[in-house]
């Protein structure tokens, strides 16, 4: 494949802003970064480049039920009633349905600036709970969607065996999720085959939660792929914390650190309910906390103590999780606003004198990339995953550099995103994914049937 070159008036590099930047892209990867160079006739010219944002936690199929669980029930509505609604929806989805729904979600992710997604994927079996001939049939459906939309895929097959702490039997609504360890080993192999034709896919391991795995299984899973990312839902819900204490005498994060070597491979998704000692342990381990502010707000989970974690040197990234709304800038905005509302102050996740937008953006790129097992940022060797901003968007008027990112996150939103490149290919132009028309039409048909 011939090299392509892109020239930007300004680009946000890992070292900070640079002017007159030329990126040479070879086979989807950044082969060189030159700064302070004028453009030549071969360069495609653009104004402002930001690195693409990793979306470290998604359940793609849940996009199809977005907005369907917003009617108040007769008793107190909680995460657990939402989960029942989700289980009823899950019973019907075929592999073709999953491709249609995931492609729609990925189009929206790319348009909003997410260029790689971590699919925390637990919908493994046929609707009646029987195994498909290919154990990764549903994972392959996600890979087909990624092939179509171009998004980077980190597939995280989920191990799910139990309905509660202490190894209790799974429920009927969980029959499409459950495997034993042997079955999971086959699933992992099959998942690697399912993504093999994508250019830079990664496969990790995802024990669903401390509720769904036994301590022995957790150790076995962590050893199955010693270098791969390992993701787990943890301490999302107060009831989960109480159940964990009743079972073990310890809180979830406390228990995890006491029984496992948690390191930079790990992504602790949510970690909402943590004590200061647990927070310090996560920060010291180098693990990434996966924050999903829109979903956590939608489900009423609570607010992660991000400022204390930040002060301890902790790493975080963001994820769209339930995909109730897919919007990169809005995830970052809500992350900061949650902190402002609880701390009664402004510009919480930034050092003195620093732009909050740029700080949030940079931290989430590097934490997200680590969690998804890839190099992030605009740097040599990384995949050419890029966003360009429209400096003529009204929210950008009179701003420059950090001011553009602050405007993107706090004032303009995704409408200020002009183009998105994924692995060197331009997939979003003037804010619209090149396959949106076809993906939308198929999604509409799929949803009409599923909800009919
Ligand atoms: Zn989740």
DSSP codes of every residue in 268-324: EEE--S--HHHHHHHHHHTPEEEE-HHHHHHHT-----HHHHHHTT-EEEE--BT-S
**Catalytic-residue membership of 327:** no
Distance 233 CA to ligand 1 centre (A): 6
Residue 35 burial (10 A CB sphere; 0-12, 13-18, 19+): middle
Among residues 208, 231, 270, 433, the one annotated as catalytic is 270
The whole-angstrom separation of Cα 116 and Cα 374 is 10
**Which residues partner with 34 through β-bridges?**
22
Among residues 97, 321, 327, 402, the one annotated as catalytic is 321
The whole-angstrom separation of Cα 14 and Cα 17 is 8
Distance 293 CA to ligand 1 centre (A): 12
User: What is the reported pLDDT for 77?
Assistant: 64
Half-sphere exposure of 70 (CA within 13 A, CB side): 8
**153-177, pLDDT tens digit by residue?**
999 999 999 989 988 888 888 889 9
Distance 148 CA to ligand 1 centre (A): 24
Distance 58 CA to ligand 1 centre (A): 6
**89-125, pLDDT tens digit by residue?**
788 899 999 999 999 999 999 999 999 999 999 999 9
- Cα angle, residue 139 at apex, residues 449 and 189 outer, rounded to 5°: 155
Averaged over 10-23, what is the pLDDT?
98
The whole-angstrom separation of Cα 70 and Cα 54 is 28
DSSP state of 28: T
User: What is the reported pLDDT for 76?
Assistant: 67
**Catalytic-residue membership of 77:** no
**323-380, pLDDT tens digit by residue?**
999 999 999 999 999 999 999 999 999 999 999 999 999 999 999 999 999 999 999 9
Instruction: Tokens 């509660």: give the residue.
Output: 164
User: What is the reported pLDDT for 75?
Assistant: 67
Distance 57 CA to ligand 1 centre (A): 6
User: What is the reported pLDDT for 275?
Assistant: 97
Distance 122 CA to ligand 1 centre (A): 10
């Amino acid at each position: 494949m011939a090299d392509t070159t892109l020239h930007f008036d300004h680009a946000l590099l890992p070292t900070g802003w640079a002017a007159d930047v030329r990126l040479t892209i070879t086979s989807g990867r950044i082969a060189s970064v030159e700064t302070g160079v004028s453009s030549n006739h071969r360069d495609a010219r653009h104004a402002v480049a930001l690195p693409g944002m990793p979306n470290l936690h998604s359940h793609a199929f849940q996009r199809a039920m977005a907005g369907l669980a917003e009617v108040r029930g007769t008793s107190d509505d909680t995460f657990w009633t939402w989960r029942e609604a989700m289980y009823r929806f899950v019973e019907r989805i075929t592999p073709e349905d999953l491709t249609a729904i995931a492609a729609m979600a990925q189009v929206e992710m790319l348009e909003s600036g997410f260029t790689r997604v971590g699919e925390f994927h637990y919908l493994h079996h046929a609707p009646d709970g029987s195994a498909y001939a290919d154990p990764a049939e549903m994972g392959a459906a996600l890979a087909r969607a990624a092939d179509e939309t171009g998004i980077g895929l980190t597939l995280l097959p989920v191990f799910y065996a139990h309905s509660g702490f202490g190894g209790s039997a799974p429920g009927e609504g969980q029959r499409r999720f459950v495997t034993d360890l042997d079955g999971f080993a086959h699933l992992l192999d099959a998942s690697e085959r399912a993504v093999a034709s994508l250019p830079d896919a990664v496969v990790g391991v995802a024990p669903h939660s401390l509720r769904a795995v036994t301590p022995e299984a957790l150790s076995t899973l962590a050893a199955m792929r010693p270098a791969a990312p390992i993701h787990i839902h943890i301490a999302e819900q107060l009831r989960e914390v109480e159940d964990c204490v009743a079972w073990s005498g310890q809180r979830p994060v406390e228990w995890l650190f006491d029984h496992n070597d948690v390191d930079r491979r790990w992504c602790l998704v949510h970690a909402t309910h943590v004590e200061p000692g647990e927070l310090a342990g996560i920060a010291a381990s180098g693990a990434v906390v996966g924050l999903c502010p829109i979903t956590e707000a939608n489900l009423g989970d609570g607010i992660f103590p991000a400022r204390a974690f930040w002060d301890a040197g902790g790493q975080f990234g963001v994820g769209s999780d339930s995909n109730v709304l897919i919007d990169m800038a809005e995830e970052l905005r809500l992350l900061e606003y949650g902190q402002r509302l609880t701390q009664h102050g402004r510009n919480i996740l930034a050092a003195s004198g620093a732009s909050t937008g740029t700080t949030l953006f940079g931290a989430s790129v590097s934490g997200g990339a680590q969690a998804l097992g890839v190099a992030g940022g605009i740097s040599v060797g990384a995949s050419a995953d890029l966003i360009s901003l429209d400096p003529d968007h009204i929210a950008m008027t009179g701003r420059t550099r950090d001011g553009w990112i602050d405007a993107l996150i706090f004032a303009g939103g995704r409408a200020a995103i002009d183009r998105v490149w994924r692995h060197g290919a331009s997939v979003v132009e003037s804010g619209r994914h090149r396959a949106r028309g076809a993906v939308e039409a198929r999604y509409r048909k799929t949803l009409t049937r599923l909800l009919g």
